[in-house]
Amino acid sequence: MTMRLDYLSIFPAYFDVLDISLLGKAAVNGLVEVHAHDLRDWTHDRHRTVDDTPCGGGAGMVMKPDPWGEAFDEIIGTEPDSSVHVIFPSPSGAPFTQSAAQELSSAVRIVFCCGRYEGIDHRVIDYARSMWTVHEVSLGDYVLNGGEVAALAITEAVVRLVPGFMGNPESLAEESFSAGQDGLLEYPLFTRPVSWRGLDVPEVLMSGHHGRIAKWRRDESVRLTCERRPDLTDSDFGVPH
Is residue 132 exposed (0-12), middle (13-18) or buried (19+ Cβ within 10 Å)?
Answer: buried
34 closest CA partner among 146, 139, 152, 124: 152
Taking CB under 6 A as the rule, does residue 143 contact ligand JF8?
yes
Interface residue with ligand JF8, options 138, 166, 174, 232 (CB under 6 A): 138
Q: Is 6 labelled as part of a ligand binding site? A: no
> Which of residues 61 and 75 has its CB atom nearest to ligand JF8 in the complex?
61
Q: Of 115 and 221, which CB lies nearer to ligand JF8 in the complex structure?
A: 115
Smallest gap, in angstroms, from Cβ of residue 211 to ligand JF8? Answer: 42
Identified binder of ligand JF8 from the candidate list 39, 134, 139, 157, rule CB under 6 A: 139
In the chain, the amino acid numbered 81 is D
CA distance 5 to 155: 9
- 94 near ligand JF8, rule: CB under 6 A: no
Residue closer to ligand JF8 (CB basis): 117 or 127: 117
Phi, psi torsion values for 49, nearest 5 degrees: -75, 130
Among 119, 162, 183, 221, binds ligand JF8 (CB under 6 A): 119
Minimum Å gap between C-beta 229 and ligand JF8 is: 18
Which of 85, 116, 135, 160 touches ligand JF8 (CB under 6 A)?
Answer: 116
Annotated binding-site members for S-adenosyl-L-methionine: 115, 139-144
What residues line the site for ligand JF8 (CB under 6 A)? 89-91, 93, 115-116, 119, 138-140, 142-147, 150
Annotated binding-site members: 115, 139-144
